[in-house]
Amino acid sequence: MLLVTFHGGSKGINNVYAYNPDGSRATKTALDEPKDGKLSELRAMVLANGLLYVANGAKSQSTVLAYTVPSSGTTFTNPSTLIGPTLSKKGHFETSIAHPFGIVFETATTCYVSNQDTNVVSLVTVSGDGLSGSMAEGCQSGYLNGLFATGTFLGGTYVASQVGILPDVTATTTVVDHAHGGLGVSFDSGKVKNSVRDVAIANGILFVCDEPEKVVDLYSLSDGSYLGSSNALIESPTHLAIDNGGLYVSAGSTLYWGLLPQSPSSTSLALQTITPTPPAAQDPLKIGGISFDDGSPTTVYLPYQQGTGGSTPGGSIYSYSVSQQPPAAPVLTSGKPFVASLDDTPEFVLYWSGGS
């Protein structure tokens, strides 16, 4: 089955749709309502620890929710919130969790969450049952602590921001420039507009979408050291996926691919365009978070985004066959509509081999 999150918000879809292998819709409400708060602006989905984790991204929620995975059917139930924000009396964010976007697990008990409104990546320690998480105070990067011994960082910070004063954030944090791995951020009308986006992990490296700088940044998982960046992209990167030794990057209307570095000591990341033929008569289009099935040959699902949420149509989902001969770049062929028209802008898709 294919699980889909949407832009959501007051005019959009704030649940996960599940689609059968033939593209027919199985349900509009795969997720039940959380025990605390509500579902709004869902973003990344990750299957780990026998659970489904979902970024409940709206600023007013700012949680990562844990869901049990059904043995049959498509109803995911919410036993707990993995991690949420800490707010001041004025409602300002006091830790790094704020408007979460991407989630990635390094181990069963360690995950990283990117946060758009604090513009940092958080390191979260996960309990043995996978249901609760915690963050230590201040910076969790040995690299940054070494550079800024008296620096000020929001709790849980693993990758820091180039800007130390952000709207609705309590603390003024230490500025980390791009040369030392700080993430770019831009503003519109006093609000964060472009900032950190998706995250991925492979071969001891954390990959982070730096939307304003138009690069993917690389960091060592051993101590947070900044390892450099990809080549500059034409458009801003927002979503990441890893398959068969390669990193896929969604950046506006372009899909990029690069061979993964094999270790933190070998960190060159050269991204090249592999954009397939897009759907006709849907312009402008952006590509959201993609996902791969477990078939042979592999099928990749690409959500095409039209509009910015709450619009009909909001885009579509296409499937492509993937021909790969690493280290050569993959070729995406035989494109066809999996879901030809959606009622809201799709953000992430996730292939799930379960359901019925």
Please answer whether residues 29 and 15 qualify as being in contact, where contact means their C-beta atoms are separated by less than 8 angstroms: yes
pTM (predicted TM-score): 0.97
CATH 2.40.128.630 fits 27-282, yes or no: yes
Q: What pairs with residue 251 in β-bridges? A: 237, 254
C-alpha–C-alpha distance, residues 176 and 171, integer Å: 15
**104 three-state secondary structure:** strand
Q: What pairs with residue 254 in β-bridges? A: 251
Output the tens digit of pLDDT for each of the chain's 356 residues.
999 999 999 889 999 999 999 999 999 999 999 988 999 999 999 999 999 999 999 999 999 999 999 999 999 999 999 999 999 988 999 999 999 999 999 999 999 999 999 999 999 999 999 999 999 999 999 999 999 999 999 999 999 999 999 999 999 999 999 999 999 999 999 899 999 999 999 999 999 999 999 999 999 999 999 999 999 999 999 999 999 999 999 999 999 999 999 999 988 999 999 999 888 766 668 999 999 999 888 999 999 998 877 777 899 999 999 997 778 999 999 999 999 999 999 999 999 998 87
Q: Which two tokens stand for residue 142?
A: 């040995």
DSSP code at position 282: -
**Euclidean distance between the first and the last CA atom of the chain, given in angstroms as a whole number:** 8
C-alpha–C-alpha distance, residues 121 and 63, integer Å: 14
Cβ atoms within 10 Å of 345's Cβ, excluding its own: 25
C-alpha–C-alpha distance, residues 285 and 96, integer Å: 31
What is the phi-psi region of residue 351: left when phi exceeds 0, alpha when psi lies from -120 to 50, beta otherwise?
beta
CA 34 to chain centre: 20
Q: Which two tokens stand for residue 193?
A: 């507009």
The DSSP H or E segment spanning 286 is strand 286-287
Please answer whether residues 84 and 63 qualify as being in contact, where contact means their C-beta atoms are separated by less than 8 angstroms: yes
Find the radius of gyration of the CA atoms of the chain.
Answer: 19
Tell me, what's the pLDDT at 326? 78
Question: Does the CA dihedral 201-207-208-211 come out positive or negative?
Answer: negative
C-alpha–C-alpha distance, residues 141 and 224, integer Å: 5
Cβ atoms within 10 Å of 277's Cβ, excluding its own: 10
C-alpha–C-alpha distance, residues 23 and 176, integer Å: 45
Tell me, what's the pLDDT at 282? 63
Cβ atoms within 10 Å of 110's Cβ, excluding its own: 15
**169 three-state secondary structure:** strand
Tell me, what's the pLDDT at 267? 84
DSSP string, 10-60: TTS--S-EEE-TTS-EEES--BPPPSSS---SEEEEEEETTEEEEEE--TT
Among candidates 352, 353, 356, 346, which has minimal Cα distance to 4?
A: 346
CA 335 to chain centre: 24
What is the DSSP pairing of strand 254-259 with strand 246-251?
A: antiparallel
